[in-house]
């Protein structure tokens, strides 16, 4: 998360120190969900197999488990090893040997929570699929306590806007260069998140392999090129855009019910 650009636009009066305060407030959360940060809680959990975690992280893990269960393994945070096998987490993205994927699938990945202690077996936790939405939610809470009412937050393409102002948001065309939009939407007090195969990917023998995996097959999913979810919650938008990318629109429609909009390309 550390290399992701976070843009904050405020449209009403603001103390000059508020943005710096927001940065300081978010830093511990961002650092501790980054499994590549050796000082983070998630890194220590992955190294040791069990770790006593703060309540906010317990809540985050339980939320991800709930979504994963509802989406038939469409959002699995225990696939950190699979991400690394494909080189999207560390190293260079590449097509791994079939045996590596077979060995990964053969493992019985376990995650359990006892009080505030998280236990894992045969897996590595990766929270990258919900980190942006989570940090947007924390930023929303912070700005609300500061009495700031109208703003636009953009965390690496995940967006949340608040207040009376309407915002026009461009949805990237997955078939065109960056900055060319497939659709422009108008939103107010909404979160927008897109999962796609057009930013983090590599091609081998004419086939595109992206960074979003189906935990059941061990391979990147290829149902769509882009899934955008618009909702009231930054976390819901972030997580469900991934889950629908993996499991499809029909599964997504069963889960999210009303109050959501889905754009698929």
pLDDT in tens, 75-122: 999 999 999 999 998 889 999 999 999 999 999 999 999 999 999 999
The 10s digit of each residue's pLDDT in 16-29 is: 788 889 999 999 99
Return the HEC string of the chain: CCCCCEEEEECCCCCCCHHHHHHHHHHHHHHHCCCCCCCCHHHHHHHHCEEECCHHHHHHHHHHHHHHHHCCCCCCCCEHHHHHHCCCCCCCCCCCCHHHHHHHHHCCCEEEEECCEEEEECCECCCCCCHHHHHHHHHHHHHHHCCCCCEEEEECCEEEEECCCCEEEEEECCCCCCCCEEEEEEECCCEEEEEECCCCEEEECCEEEECCEECCCCEECCCCCEEEEEECCHHHHHHHHHHHHHHCHHHHHHHHCCCCEEEEC
Q: What are the pLDDT digits (tens) for 138-172?
A: 999 999 999 998 999 999 899 999 998 999 999 99
Q: What pLDDT is stored for residue 9 in this prediction?
A: 86
In order of their start, the domains of the chain are 6-264 (3.10.520.10)
pLDDT at 258 over 70: no
pLDDT at 250 over 70: yes
Tell me what the mean pLDDT of segment 198-211 comes to: 93
Say what the pLDDT of residue 220 is: 95
Closest CA to 214 of 108, 86, 90: 86
pLDDT digits (tens, 9 = 90+) for 213-231: 999 999 999 889 999 999 9
Confidence of residue 4 (pLDDT cuts 50, 70, 90): confident
- The structure's pTM equals 0.94
Rounded to an integer, the average pLDDT of 190-205 is 94
- Is the confidence at residue 254, as pLDDT, over 70? no
């Amino acid at each position: 998360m550390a290399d992701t650009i976070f843009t904050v636009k405020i449209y009403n009066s603001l103390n000059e120190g508020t943005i710096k305060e927001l940065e300081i407030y978010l830093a511990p959360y961002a650092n501790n969900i980054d499994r590549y940060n050796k000082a983070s809680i998630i890194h220590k959990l992955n190294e040791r197999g069990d770790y006593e975690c703060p309540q906010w992280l317990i809540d985050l893990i339980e939320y991800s488990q709930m979504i994963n269960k509802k989406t038939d393994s469409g959002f699995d945070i225990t696939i950190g090893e699979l991400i690394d096998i494909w080189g999207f987490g560390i190293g260079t993205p590449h097509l791994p040997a079939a045996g590596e994927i077979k060995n990964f699938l053969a493992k019985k990945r376990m995650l359990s929570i006892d009080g505030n202690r998280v236990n894992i077996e045969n897996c590595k936790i990766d929270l990258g699929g919900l980190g942006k939405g989570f940090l947007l939610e924390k930023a929303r809470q912070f700005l609300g306590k500061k009495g700031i009412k109208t703003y636009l937050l953009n965390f690496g393409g995940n967006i949340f806007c608040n207040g009376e102002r309407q915002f026009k948001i461009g949805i990237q065309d997955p078939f065109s260069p960056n900055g060319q939009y497939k659709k422009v939407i108008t939103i107010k007090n909404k979160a927008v998140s897109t999962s796609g195969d057009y930013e983090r990917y590599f091609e081998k023998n004419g086939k595109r392999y992206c960074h979003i995996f189906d935990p059941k097959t061990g391979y990147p999913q290829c149902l769509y090129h882009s899934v955008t979810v618009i909702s009231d919650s930054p976390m819901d938008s972030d997580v469900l855009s991934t889950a629908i990318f993996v499991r499809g629109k029909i599964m997504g429609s069963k889960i999210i019910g009303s109050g959501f909009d889905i754009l698929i390309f």
